[in-house]
Amino acid sequence: MRASGTKDETPTQLVRRARKINRVLAETYPDARCELDFDNPFELLVVTVLSAQTTDKRVNAARPAIFAAYPDAKAMAAADRAHLEQLVGPLGFFRAKTESLLKLSAALVERYDGQVPPRLDDLVTLPGVGRKTANVVLGNAFDVPGITVDTHFGRLARRFAWTEETDPVKVEHAVGALFPKRDWTMLSHHLIWHGRRVCHARKPACGACPVARWCPAFGEGPTDPAEAAKLVRTEGRA
């Protein structure tokens, strides 16, 4: 199989190929969404911070106890550090994560009356919140379009030859230019779901990939359908 997408590709051809890939991924993953559980913007902000260096599944398991004890920014800002560390403990790096949550919650109380601001420029001023976390919150809690460049998104964007950039902010801007703004949040979900299930970092399941014909990186993993099918995960792990 010779995939489309080469150095001779025109900007218009790149846009068309990128949008075709996204359409096929949307059909492949109709249930694609944020895999972190949350009930409100504050919860999403907190669980996104906690998701660093661990799995969404573990964060979802720890979430009920954390928010039962500290349901909002005011309560978490006043949390007993040792108790919060205990709740965060199963997620790893519990001291650093607890420190981040305490500072983040205090900043929300001091600057925004305990509410999560719905603007990127405000969110990224909060302790421990970068553009990736901010875009997760904006897109999923406020319906403000945003591109979430995590490790999966960046890897796939480069494999698809949508960009050669490695800096997450540059990837965000380069990929964003290929799609209507209204598509950004779901585009993020589509790539992240595909990266977790099929297009793995070390051994992508190329022979079982629904967008293989448009992927210049086809062949980085097994191309035999039966062999590739063994690598497909039915749900995300990271």
Does a structural domain hold residue 172?
A: yes
CB 116 within 8 A of CB 108: yes
What is the CATH classification number for the domain harbouring 122?
Answer: 1.10.340.30
How many other C-beta atoms lie within 10 A of the C-beta of residue 14? 17
**Looking at the predicted structure, is the pLDDT value of residue 144 above 70?**
yes
Same domain assignment for residues 86 and 128: yes
| Domain endpoint, select from 117, 141, 165 | 141
- The reply to whether 53 falls in a domain is yes
Decide which of 78, 110, 141 is a domain's last residue.
Answer: 141
Please check whether residue 125 lies inside any domain of the structure. yes
Catalytic residue among 7, 8, 103, 132: 132
| Mean pLDDT to the nearest integer, 116-143 | 96
Domain co-membership, 66 together with 127? yes
Task: Indicate the length of the chain as a whole number.
Answer: 238
- Regarding whether 49 and 133 lie in a shared domain, the answer is yes
Instruction: Work out the average pLDDT over 122-141.
Output: 96
> By percentage, how much of the chain surpasses pLDDT 70?
96
5-9, 48-52, 206-210, 223-227 — which is least confidently predicted?
A: 5-9
Cα 3 to Cα 227: distance, rounded to the nearest angstrom: 20
**Is 132 assigned a catalytic role?**
yes
Between 28 and 2, the more confident residue is 28
In a domain, 222, yes or no: yes
- pLDDT score of 1: 44
Instruction: Say if residue 181 is exposed, middle or buried (CB neighbours under 10 Å; 0-12, 13-18, 19+).
Output: exposed
User: Containing domain of residue 91, as a range?
Assistant: 41-141
pLDDT at 77 over 70: yes
* Residue 2 banded pLDDT, cuts 50, 70, 90: very low
Instruction: Report d(CA 92, CA 198) in Å as an integer.
Output: 26
Mark whether 57 is an active-site residue: no
Catalytic residue among 72, 150, 183, 230: 150
pLDDT at 171 > cutoff 70: yes
How many folded domains does the chain comprise?
2
Instruction: Specify the amino acid at residue 111.
Output: R
Q: What is the CATH number of the domain that holds 162?
A: 1.10.1670.10
